[in-house]
Amino acid sequence: MDKAPAQPPLWIFGYGSLMWNPGFEHHERVVARLSGYARSFCMWSIHHRGTVDDPGLVLALDENPEATCDGLALRVAPGAEETTLAYLRERELVSAAYLEKTLPVTLDCGRRVRAVTFVIDDQHPQYCGGLTLERQAQVIARAHGGRGPNAEYLFNTAAHLAELGIRDPDLDSLSHQVRRILARRG
C-alpha cells in the first residue's frame, strides 16, 4: 500500500497576542522575521479590546515594502492543522478586517518557512493606519472589550517581545505613555 505524501508542517506567524496567547498546541516556537510588513496599532478593535461604541486598538501587520516585523513562528502540532486553522479563523477573522496570507518568514536559525499570517485589510472600515502614538496611547488607556482592557493587550505584547529580545521602540513608547495616563487617572 502506498503511503500518502507527508504533509509539510503548518507554521503560524504571531506578532501580537498569538505570541503570548496562541490558543493552540504547537511543537516548536521560534523567533522569526517577516519582511514587507510593519507591526502597528492600525486596527480598531470592536470585539476583543473595545466595543462598537468605544473601539480600542489592536496590532496588525500593515504592508510596507521597506519594513520588517520580528515575532514568533509557531509550528502546529502534527494532526492538529485543520482544527488549528478553524480556531484561528474564528478568532482572527471575526470581523474580516484581517486577511489570511501564507507568507515566507525567516527563522532565527536562517531557515525560511511559509507561515499563515493575518495582515490588515487596509480597505476595511476598521483600518486606522497613521494614528499618532499619542492618539494611540489615549485610545489604549481607556478602551475595554470582551477580552479585557486594551492596555493589558499592549503590556502583554511589549513584555513578551522584551522576553524574546525583540526591540519595538513604538510599543515601548506606547507602554510608557499608557502607564503615565493610567497613573494620572489613579
| Catalytic residue numbers, as ranges | 92
Measured in degrees and rounded to the nearest 5, phi and psi for residue 36 equal: 90, 5
Q: Look up residue 103 and give its three cell numbers.
A: 507568507
Rounded-to-integer distance, Cα 120 and Cα 154, Å: 18
Measured in degrees and rounded to the nearest 5, phi and psi for residue 154 equal: -60, -50
Q: Look up residue 37 and give its three cell numbers.
A: 510588513
Q: How many residues does the chain have?
A: 186
User: Are the CB atoms for 173 and 135 separated by under 8 Å?
Assistant: no
